[in-house]
Amino acid sequence: MTNHTLQSSLGHYSFTSPFLNASGIHCQTQAELDDLAHCQALAGIVTKSATLSPRAGNEQPRYVDLANGSINAMGLPNLGYSFYLDYVQTDHGKPTILSVSGLSQAEMLTVLREIQHSGYQGLTELNLSCPNLAGHPQLAYDFAASKTLLTEVFRFFKKPLGVKLPPYFDLNHFGQIANLLNCFPIHHVNTINSVGNGLVVDIDTETVVTKAKGGFGGLGGAMVLPTALANVRALRQRLRPDIAIIGTGGVRSGADVFAHILCGADMVSVGTQVMKEGLGVYDRLAAELTAIMADKQYTQLADFRGQLKTLSASQRSSSRWTSQS
């Protein structure tokens, strides 16, 4: 294919391709972030979700590869927001998304105030959905608390701010979170975070596989792809058109990236598959996505973004490309 482009954008921010790293994967240390900066096929850098103070995170083992994905209970290990805020204020040759979180709403507000007062002009993303903090529920499952927090945030935060959401599983909840977010000047939504509180059982040892929280952990990778696609699609149908979407979850192949974009994703981020395959995955995904586009005679992502069709009574889908089966 000769004149195709993978050029993408999130609001007014332009990217050379739709590919981002998923927060938490290869983005915690200076060396890891520098690897992302040097990874040509990666269009932007997302930082590890940062808290006010550095955190060691949960005890090991806290990430385990599975045949169909991964389970993790990391507990937000990170170097503290000031490290990441410094990092993103240096030019790395590609846009950055500074992901921030906190163990309390007060902590999140403090970190966001620091970002507001800094010279940082890039994108910030508030992680409302960390599933692996013992004793701390995922904020985005509490609609009233999320509304209170966002009301407080947008009183002072005037820079572009996105939110990272957990997966929702009920059509009514898609409506509730979209209605809530539509009331705020949200820049983008990143969906989905890990599917919270799965449990993997090793029947040889008759134990769980991760240490914290009695083995309950967030799921990622292939097993969460349909959930991720459902969340991208459902939110695209309900959010204001100016709120961009980062599709995250379950991407292993160019077909999965294509599916995310077909559901309405503006950009696509990859977590578990980077853990399994390394940063070389992005070249492969770009090649596979380009091949699918060539086959379908699409020259740009806008040719198919959000164009997912539903089946009429007499139609059946024939799956030549999907890797979901």
267-305 as b/e: b if 16+ CB within 10 A: bbbbbbbbbeeebebbeebbebbbebbeeeebeebeeeb
Catalytic (active site) residue 27: no
The answer to whether 81 contacts ligand FMN (rule: CB under 6 A) is no
Min. distance of Cβ 271 from ligand FMN in angstroms?
Answer: 3
> Does an H or E element contain 181, and which?
helix 171-181
Q: Which stretch binds ligand FMN (CB under 6 A): 72-80, 149-157, 283-291, 302-310?
A: 72-80
Instruction: Report 6-35 residues binding ligand FMN (CB under 6 A).
Output: 22-25
Buried b (16+ CB within 10 A) or exposed e, 311-322: eeeeeeeeeebe
DSSP 102: -
Q: How far is the CB of 195 from ligand FMN (least distance, A)?
A: 8
Q: How many residues bind ligand FMN (CB under 6 A)?
A: 28
* Helix/strand/coil for 188: strand
Question: What are the φ/ψ torsions at residue 99 (nearest 5 degrees)?
Answer: -90, 130
**Helices 81-88 and 30-38, packing angle to 10 deg:** 30
Q: Helix, strand, or coil here: 259?
A: helix
- Of residues 8, 58, 72, 227, which one binds ligand FMN by CB under 6 A? 72
> 45 or 298, CB closer to ligand FMN?
45
Residue nearest to ligand FMN (CB): 24
Shortest spacing between CB 250 and ligand FMN, in angstroms? 5
Residues 196-255 that bind ligand FMN (CB under 6 A): 220-221, 224, 248-251
Write the binding mask 46 to 65 for ligand FMN: x where contact by CB under 6 A, - elsewhere.
--xx-------------x--
Q: Which positions from 106 through 145 interact with ligand FMN, judged by CB under 6 A?
A: 127
CA angle 211–215–250, rounded 5-degree value: 110
Window 156 to 195, contacts with ligand FMN (CB under 6 A): 164, 192-194
CA distance 237 to 232: 9
- Catalytically active residues are 130
Residues that bind ligand FMN (CB under 6 A): 22-25, 48-49, 63, 70, 72, 74, 76, 99, 127, 164, 192-194, 220-221, 224, 248-251, 270-273
